Amino acid sequence: MVGRGVMSKRWSVGARSETGYVRNENQDRMSYVQAPFGDIYIVSDGMGGHRGGALAAGLTVETLNQSLSSLDSISIGPDAIKGAFEEANAVVYERGHAGNAGTEGMGATAVVLLVAQCQVMVAHVGDSRAYLFTRENKLERLTKDHSRVQRMIDAGILTPAEAMVHPEASVLERAIGTSPTIKVDISSWIPLREGDQVLLCSDGLHGYVSDTEIAAVLSNQGAPQELAGQLVSLALEKGGEDNITIQLIVCGGGDKGGISRIMGRLGIVVPGIVLLSAATARPGISNS
């Protein structure tokens, strides 16, 4: 991606997570932590239904945070992310293959955003997504789902609209903790300008709300917390059949410390880390 100029070092952040109308439990988790180099935002969607999805997402977020919270140089960002995902995968895989029927085969998705002054880096496994919405009102998906239907889209078998309602829409081909090794997709550093927005979300949003509808909401005037609420409301209007988790990070115009206040009201604060209760999956892993 070409450079986008200089931005303010201040960030305005909104966060929201909802169980939805169908699920009995919110198995999504999200977090925010300050590191020496900048800030880290994470959304994870647990896989395994009542068989450990929430545990898998929690372990994923905690391990990623612990591994990345001491990161002090953007130059080692990609290597640090790769190592953090590998550690998270090992932790979840070990717990999911320890002979406990309640957690057997559990796993999780994860999307991670590193923020270092005027640039961001995105890493992900699974189908939790990151989007960039520019101040010119253009929406760009920064991640590609590791799912069966995405492979069909790439092959020209399905359109994105058909994929949203396909019976295998929730089947993942890559996830944390489902195999002994993991491959993580990591972007280069992406320069941002003041007014650009980065959206992290679980499939409880993008599985029901189209990219066009997401862009329409993000184009509205409003604080990030208001826009996050509008996106959640739209997903609920579409049926609310899954957990919905959103973090919206806007370049400039606010105090990044607001995320601590927002998530502190919604979640559990762990030393230096804010955790909040994203949905369910397995390679041939159904996210349901």
pLDDT tens, 113-153?
A: 999 888 999 999 999 999 999 999 999 999 999 988 778 88
Among residues 220, 208, 270, the alpha carbon closest in space to that of 250 is found at 220
Q: What's the pLDDT at 287?
A: 55
pLDDT digits (tens, 9 = 90+) for 192-230: 999 999 999 999 999 999 999 999 999 998 999 999 999
pLDDT digits (tens, 9 = 90+) for 70-88: 998 888 889 999 999 999 9
* pLDDT > 60? residue 99: yes
> What tokens appear for 127 in the block?
């189908």
Q: Tokens 């309602």 sit at which residue?
A: 165
* Domains detected in the chain: 11-286 (3.60.40.10)
Give Cα 169 to chain centroid, integer Å. Answer: 17
* pLDDT > 60? residue 268: no
What is the pLDDT of the chain when averaged over all its residues?
84
Confidence of residue 21 (pLDDT cuts 50, 70, 90): confident
Among residues 207, 257, 205, the alpha carbon closest in space to that of 217 is found at 205
Confidence of residue 283 (pLDDT cuts 50, 70, 90): very low
97: helix, strand or coil: coil
Confidence of residue 258 (pLDDT cuts 50, 70, 90): low
Angstrom distances, CA of residue 46 to CA of 88, 115, 153, 277: 13, 24, 24, 10
Confidence of residue 260 (pLDDT cuts 50, 70, 90): low
Q: Are 30 and 17 in contact (CB under 8 A)?
A: yes
Among residues 182, 195, 191, 167, the alpha carbon closest in space to that of 94 is found at 182
Enclosing H/E stretch for 263: helix 258-266
Q: Are 173 and 107 in contact (CB under 8 A)?
A: no
Among residues 58, 51, 66, 41, the alpha carbon closest in space to that of 92 is found at 58
| 120 bridge partner residues | 115, 190
* pLDDT > 80? residue 237: yes
